[in-house]
Amino acid sequence: MKVSEFRFDEHLAFKPEQGRILFKDQRMVMMSADSFGTLLKEIIDIGGVNMARVFMRRFGETAGRNDARTIKNTLSPDTDIDWLALGPMIHSWEGIVRAVPEEINIDRDTGKFYMKGTWEDSFFAEQYLKHYGKSKDPVCWLLTGYATGYTSEFFGKKLIAKEPTCKGKGDDLCRFEITPEG
């Protein structure tokens, strides 16, 4: 499958009689952004920002790895670039963020990986701002976790996503960079 041909809605199965939504064989859950924001607020209020950062990054990383596996195993991307590009596209379809890759440099033989781009209209930054106002640090932990998990699964090597700028701290745009760990 080419990324340009992908339509997420064609791969979802709504089964209300079973109480399920499926993306291929992976169960999905649809909830309002505000309910997720309330969860984020509760975690921060009870355990602090560091706990919320760890929880959300791990949660995002698991989601990213699962999506990368599902895409590889069920959609059969035509190329590595199609497989890689489907991650940001799915995040956009899910309503999480409009992910826009700007630069991708991959060399599996040498282990080099670099990807950067923007996250437009991050629901996570929106919810953080709603509950806490501006942060002194980037806050899109769920997104950095997802990007880390998805690209690590794709590349077969631990990669790390970072967010150099974030609307949650007052920047004009959320930006991401992904590089090998270390």
- Complete DSSP assignment for 2-15: -GGG--GGGGEEEE
- Complete DSSP assignment for 110-132: TTEEEEEEEEES-HHHHHHHHHH
Q: What confidence tens digit (pLDDT) does each residue in 56-91 have?
A: 999 999 999 999 999 899 888 999 999 999 988 888
**pLDDT beyond 80 at 1:** no
Q: Identify the CA nearest to 154 among candidates 180, 177, 182.
A: 180
H or E, element range at 154: helix 141-155
For the chain, what are the domain ranges?
3-180
Token pair listed for 8: 């997420």
Task: Please give the model's pTM, rounded to 2 decimal places.
Answer: 0.91
Q: Counting Cβ atoms within 10 Å, is residue 177 exposed (0-12), middle (13-18) or buried (19+)?
A: middle
Q: What is the pLDDT of residue 167?
A: 98
CATH number of 3-180: 3.30.1380
Q: Which range has the worst mean pLDDT, 1-5, 16-20, 27-31, 68-72?
A: 1-5
> Per-residue pLDDT averaged across 140-154, rounded?
97
Q: What Rg do the C-alpha atoms of the chain give, in angstroms?
A: 16
Q: What confidence tens digit (pLDDT) does each residue in 101-139 have?
A: 999 999 999 999 999 999 999 999 999 999 999 999 999
Rounded to whole angstroms, the Cα distance separating 179 from 130 reads 31
